[in-house]
Every structure is written in C-alpha cells, then in structure tokens.
Amino acid sequence: MVFATGIDSQIVQFQNLPDVGKWIISSKNRSHTHDVKSLAYSPNGDIMVSGGVDANINVFTISKFPKQDNELSSFPQQPPVTLSRQHKILCCQFSRKIELWKLGKSSTRIIYLLFFLFFSSKNSTIKCK
C-alpha cells in the first residue's frame, strides 16, 4: 500500500491489485483543514503522522486508516514564553518558529522588567522553570 498527499487537505491510501495489475484508491482522509505538507512513518511502519499548513499533527495507525488516532493541536500546551533559570535560556514560541535566547548576567533584570511590562498589559502569566 502507498499513501499520498498533495496541495489539498486529503490523504489517500492506494492499494495494489496484482491480479488486475492496477493500483486503486482504497481509503481517503480529510482530517486537515488546509494543505498537507508532510507524511512520516514509524520505523516499524505501524504508525503514520501527517503535518500540514493548519499546524496540526495527526496520528494514524496504518491498519486502521482512514480512522485518525490522535490530533496534536497547534495551540501551545505550555506558555509561549518560558525561562530556564538554571541554564539561563529564554524560549519564545511563535506560530511558525521557536527562538532560544542565551541570557547573560547583566540582561536578566532587563528581561524580567520586559516580561512584566509585556505580560501585565495582556493579562498573561509567566512560567519559569
């Protein structure tokens, strides 16, 4: 069997019919809302993961396709800004990228001040690790 996707929200499963000598569409799934950009498989070939423009990651058990097992949402599961005090690293999560900033001793107080000013105006919280 072969899986294919393209410039739409559909993932298609093709099955080979050796008796007929043709490939047929055996299943379809439209779990993404926009273009599907990637498909990846587990090393043993049991699990398939898809990612798309909608920024969702969908998980499938191949033997149960087109049923979707899980969807990992694009919304952050943790605050968009985190700080590791031990390693002095600031992590900022954006919709299409993650930025890591190595903080020095002199900038730590400035960063806390910026956090306070930025987050106090948006009623958000800061999670420090």
- Residue-wise pLDDT tens digits, 16-67: 999 989 999 999 999 898 899 999 998 888 999 999 888 888 899 999 998 8
CATH number for the domain whose boundaries are 2-72: 2.40.10
Domain ranges of the chain: 2-72, 81-128
Strands across the sheet with 36-41, in order? Answer: 36-41, 47-52, 57-61, 70-72
What is the pTM (predicted TM-score) of this model? 0.54
* Coil, helix or strand at residue 44: coil
